[in-house]
Amino acid sequence: MKRGLLLVAFVLSFVGVASTAGAADWPMWRFDNQRSGLSPEALPESLQLQWTRELGPVRPAWPNEDRLHFDASYEPIVLGSRLFLGSPNDGTLTAYDTRTGEEIWRYHTDGPVRLAPLAWKDRVFFGSDDGHLYCVHAESGALLWKVRGATDDRADHRHLGNGRLVSYWPVRGGPVLADDVVYFGAGIWPSLGVFVRAVHARTGDVLWTNSNSHAIANVRIDHNYMNEAGISPQGHMAIAGDLLIVPNGRSMPARIDRKTGKMHYFVQGYRNGDSRVVISGEVALVGERGVVSLKDGREIGSRWAQAGKGAPEGFVAAKKDQFEGPYHPYHFLPGCDFRAVLDNGIAYGLQAGTLYAYDVKHAKTSTYDKEDNGHQLKPARWDAPLLWKLSVGKPGSASKTLIKAGRRLYGHVGRRLLAVELTGNAKEPAKLVWSIELENEPTSLLAADDRLFVVTADGRLHSFGADARAPRTHRREAQALRNRSDRWKRTTAALLEATRTDAGYALVLGLEEGKLVEELLRTSSMNVIAIDESTQKINTLRRRLTIQGAYDSRFQGIVADPTRATLPHYIAHLITSERPQSLNLANAAALTRIFKSLRPYGGTAAFALDDAQRQAVSQTASASDLPGAESDTTSELALIRRVGALEGAADWTHETGDAARTFYSRDALVQAPLGILWYGDGPDHGFYKRKDYGHGVKPQVAGGKLIALQIATRTLHAVDAYTGRLLWVRKVGPSTRYTAMADAIYVASGRTCDVLNPETGRPLATLPIDVGQPADAPVSVSDIRVGEQTILLALRFNREDSIPKGRWNSELLVGLDRVSGEQLWSARAEHRFNTAAIALAGGRVYCIDSHSPIVVADMRRRGQSVERLPSTIQALDARSGKMLWETAREDPPPTFSTLHFIGMRSQDDWLAYSAEHDLLLAGKGDNTYAFSGKEGKQVWHKPIRGNQPLILGPETLINQAGHTYAIADGKLIDGTRRFKRVGCNYAVGGKNLLFLRDACAAYVDIKSKTQYDLRNLRSGCSNSLVAADGLLNVPCFSVGCVCNYPIQTSFAMHHMPQVADWHGLAPRIQEIDKPQTAETP
């Protein structure tokens, strides 16, 4: 068939719901709108490498989370003799000649292009993290139209997302087309709003918008709980008849009526969710383990509907096999997943060196026997007849991509690219007919224009065709920017000297030729964001830096009016301009706007102006009442510096909030509603840690830095609280405990306590700890407290790091002088000190000496009476260790079980100190006591249930049941629950808000009692919600959680009033009447 006829065939045929593209093209991700990976085009039998283009390794949004790897590879498409490739690295769509690999044109956007483009007739559609869907002419790259993902009532807003400045509503619901309509999704944070839109392919006219799927009530989530949920469109959308299938990040996909935009019954599911979804008949294959029925949205392994009225409504251990979102595995077919080729009821899958063919059209469900903690269960399973299997490579080798072209399957096993020939008989095994070894593993394949295109993990694009010729390589060679000797070099040197740092984010508001941007990139380590209203200026600079190659990861250009662009608060270490006169800096409103984007603790706005202009800027700054602002007129630059902490902000210096164990933040700026300031975890930003159920140290924030411990690698990380930028990483010892103060980080392990410089992570001092034991005796640090003058260490004489074996216990307390490091005193326990019962406040050390629950369990096993055992509460002088007072009480000891050790943290001995009332609160189980901090006299005793930790504010305490009591007398003030907790974790508090996990991460306004659910992610299994430095910082402490929350990430939030209109506090109620018997509820 001739080329012209091929293109005509494509244009005429690609109009239906399950349309077949023209034989020579590959118009979208996995070829068609069902994402089958199947092309009718037969490639030449013999394929030779013809050209290679070096693109550089792809930088995905979520590198650490497999279930969010929708953009883990470049995913090109082909129309005619042009290959179109979107890049998350530089935010471009580029057209290449399929025959030569030559670049034809390049279109720039203001954000990463993370998903595959879509070709239709003479145009190409693609989405960007800048919040727009673009339509460009395939031949020229000219913009035909673009449409925002968010509705027009939302003003443009940007924040740092996955290390780049992106829209609040990035387009990460990859576009798909049916019946001349393009569908796409925008927004990933339900609390900011989420949109799914249908637009006419030719005009860009919006046909419908679904804007209410960010807040849905009555959704069955993990552990079979009913809760609020919201979708987070991330992944390539698909079409199944009249259904639009919307991948939902780590969750199960949503089903939307593609004619009306109305969402069908939605099940978030328990586990198995994934952002990569493909369609096979009446089911969707979701990731590697999920199979969803398109009829009702439930997984094939769900027996909940069949259970009828007997279906469990929550977590019922005896009915785990009947949860709406299956608990147990049900998918046991290797290779039959999102990578499979789906060909008219047959699924071809390649896994661990074996190629499989399944008859999924005749798949059936059944049950199997499963014993689960004493319960005999019958989970469902999904099976499809195996037609054949073929060994094609080394067992255990990875296979990331598989396609079909004509009668051949193309895939890989490790670095070996291969082709197998199908016989035409579905039950007859295929034959391996071709293979070639590559330098790296393939990550994407497509067949078009008589060529096989291969993307590899090192960021190379290879083209294989029939012609035997010398292959050509289009290299990506990084070139250093040239050293210049002009005014921009002098200006840049002055700027960096004034800023007092060469790292962080720099905003350049307004360009001449971009020379200042280049010099900042050349002479510093800064990430530079240039903003100018001239598309020509920005694109010229983009192209110039693309050629340089070494700087594209640190540069971003934004086309916007620099005097009006909505910029994030607190982002910039430096704000400057190549044409500062255009910014009208003598205007108070203009200067205030710039000041809001300066990072606290030294962010600097610096502009090269003449004497009169500098004086005018200084006068405006003085008159504008900018908190923390310092202006400098002695420099050749106009300087405005944001000095110190935000006014009203406070630190969170210990995992318990402070050394007094109040679990209370005194930060006045963290108030409802909250908007997202930054998010993401990558090699140079964020923090990513496995859930630990209280084993590791909880995150702390002081001096603008988030300090977090990674147990697996024994590394301490410092992250910029305002941008998520990784500042430093330091190796630490086993069983490390630390506390973060604004002027020093105290890190204790074994027999030493290191004092680290918060700016660099380097030691300022190493303090020895005399434990009175031989040098070879095992010693571990259980906890640390730091006060104004004293460092308090709790130690144990073993190296056990397991909670069930005593991780929370210590046998020795040691006091060190915070200034000199001198050891002041030590005190031994008769039994043990529980770490939850050690506080340092008001010049005193408070502790409880009591029997460990582990010892009590042993006593019970030996038949000893343990109905009541003493707990001795002690007050020691923090400087001398002298006993000031002690008192004993007897309470029933808790029952210890290694299966339920998490609950011990709330039932064991605990204490907390209220400075406002000089009261020491202590308790065990349901009993709470208050003692005079100075004298030890008991002031009150109440049966305050609801578990600890208690949240101690200035006048009231709140328990984990959400009830409020007066600290002065223990009387109940408010018996209504301020919050409901679901899932592991505990609540902590602040002046304005309470922070907790109600399945998803949530916060509660103390005055209005309004709860704000984030809906798309959870917090850690112990506190990872830290209100400090004017922000709510939430490092990712949930790695390893299989539950279907759409996102798993670190992020920070700040007060943002307009979020009140976006959040959706009155969720759409999902109808659940008789859902068990309804095919499409």
**Spatial separation of the C-alpha atoms in residues 197 and 176, rounded to whole Å:** 11
Least confident piece of the model among 154-158, 261-265, 478-482, 737-741: 478-482
pLDDT beyond 50 at 802: yes
Give per-residue burial for 422-458: e unless 16+ CB within 10 Å, then b: beeeeeeebeeebebebebbbbbbbbbbbbbbbbbbe
**The pair of three-digit structure tokens given for residue 858, joined into one six-digit string:** 């042993």
Q: What is the average pLDDT value for the chain, to the nearest integer?
A: 93
Of 266, 306, 307, 268, nearest to 290 (Cα)? 268
CA 780 to chain centre: 33
How high is the pLDDT of residue 905? 67
The answer to whether 42 touches 59, Cβ cutoff 8 Å, is no
Confidence band, pLDDT 50/70/90 cuts, at residue 645? very high
Q: Taking residues 798-808, report their average pLDDT.
A: 79
Of 938, 956, 958, nearest to 948 (Cα)? 958
Contacts made by residues 561-566, CB under 8 angstroms, sequence distance 24+: 561/533, 562/509, 562/510, 562/531, 562/532, 562/533, 563/509, 563/590, 565/156, 565/158, 565/531, 566/155, 566/156, 566/157, 566/158
Specify the CATH architecture of the domain 664-1061.
Answer: 7 Propeller (2.130)
Q: Convert the pLDDT of each residue in 64-118 to its tens digit.
A: 999 999 999 999 999 999 999 999 999 999 999 999 999 999 999 999 999 999 9
Q: Phi, psi (5° rounding) for residue 832?
A: -170, 155
How high is the pLDDT of residue 926? 85
Same topology, domains 3-474 and 487-642? Answer is no
Q: Taking residues 920-943, report their average pLDDT.
A: 95
How high is the pLDDT of residue 4? 35
**Spatial separation of the C-alpha atoms in residues 1028 and 1034, rounded to whole Å:** 11
Evaluate the omega torsion of the peptide bond into residue 379 and state whether it is cis, within 30 degrees of 0. Answer: no
Q: How many CB atoms lie within 10 A of CB 753?
A: 24
Least confident piece of the model among 283-292, 355-364, 402-411, 796-805: 796-805
**The pair of three-digit structure tokens given for residue 948, joined into one six-digit string:** 């600890």
How high is the pLDDT of residue 13? 35
DSSP class per residue in 781-798: EEEEEE-SSEEEEEEESS
**The pair of three-digit structure tokens given for residue 524, joined into one six-digit string:** 């510093």
The answer to whether 736 touches 612, Cβ cutoff 8 Å, is no
Q: Taking residues 1041-1059, report their average pLDDT.
A: 96
Query: Between β-strands 938-942 and 927-932, what pairing exists: parallel, antiparallel or unpaired?
Result: antiparallel
Place of tokens 């112990």: 1022
Q: What is the dihedral of CA 555, 556, 561, 565, to 10 degrees?
A: -110
Confidence band, pLDDT 50/70/90 cuts, at residue 973? very high
Domain segments of the chain as ranges = 3-474, 487-642, 664-1061
Task: Please identify, in words, the CATH class of the domain defined by 487-642.
Answer: alpha beta
Q: Taking residues 591-618, report their average pLDDT.
A: 96
**Spatial separation of the C-alpha atoms in residues 436 and 426, rounded to whole Å:** 26
The answer to whether 925 touches 850, Cβ cutoff 8 Å, is no
Confidence band, pLDDT 50/70/90 cuts, at residue 869? confident
The answer to whether 119 touches 77, Cβ cutoff 8 Å, is yes
The answer to whether 633 touches 614, Cβ cutoff 8 Å, is yes
Q: Convert the pLDDT of each residue in 902-930 to its tens digit.
A: 666 667 899 999 999 999 999 998 899 99
Positive or negative: CA dihedral 599, 604, 609, 613: positive
Least confident piece of the model among 211-215, 277-281, 739-743, 1070-1074: 1070-1074
Task: Please identify, in words, the CATH class of the domain defined by 3-474.
Answer: mainly beta
**Spatial separation of the C-alpha atoms in residues 969 and 357, rounded to whole Å:** 72
Q: Phi, psi (5° rounding) for residue 973?
A: -95, -45
Least confident piece of the model among 321-335, 800-814, 959-973: 800-814
Evaluate the omega torsion of the peptide bond into residue 40 and state whether it is cis, within 30 degrees of 0. Answer: no
**Spatial separation of the C-alpha atoms in residues 542 and 118, rounded to whole Å:** 24
Helix/strand/coil for 530: strand
Q: What is the pTM of this model?
A: 0.95
pLDDT beyond 60 at 19: no
How high is the pLDDT of residue 1076? 36
Query: Between β-strands 555-559 and 574-576, what pairing exists: parallel, antiparallel or unpaired?
Result: unpaired
Of 349, 341, 345, 383, nearest to 364 (Cα)? 383
The interaxial angle of helices 487-499 and 515-523, nearest 10 deg, is 50
Half-sphere CA count of 684, side-chain side, radius 13 A: 14
**Spatial separation of the C-alpha atoms in residues 114 and 262, rounded to whole Å:** 26
DSSP class per residue in 84-115: EEEETTTTEEEEEETTT--EEEEEE-SS---S
Q: Convert the pLDDT of each residue in 22-42 to its tens digit.
A: 448 999 999 999 999 999 999
DSSP class per residue in 10-38: HHHHTTSTTPPPPTT-B-STTSSTT---E
How high is the pLDDT of residue 1022? 82
Of 469, 390, 414, nearest to 47 (Cα)? 469
Q: Convert the pLDDT of each residue in 510-535 to its tens digit.
A: 999 999 999 999 999 999 999 999 99
How high is the pLDDT of residue 51? 98
The answer to whether 140 touches 158, Cβ cutoff 8 Å, is no
DSSP class per residue in 192-256: G--EEEEEETTT--EEEEE--TTSEEEEE-GGG-EEEE----BEE-EEETTEEEE-BTTSPPEEE
Q: Convert the pLDDT of each residue in 376-398 to its tens digit.
A: 999 999 999 999 999 999 998 89
The interaxial angle of helices 535-548 and 515-523, nearest 10 deg, is 30
Confidence band, pLDDT 50/70/90 cuts, at residue 988? very high
| CB-based burial label for 480 (10 Å; 0-12, 13-18, 19+) | exposed
Give ∠ CA 193-197-198 in degrees, rounded to 5.
175
Positive or negative: CA dihedral 550, 552, 553, 555: positive
CA 838 to chain centre: 33
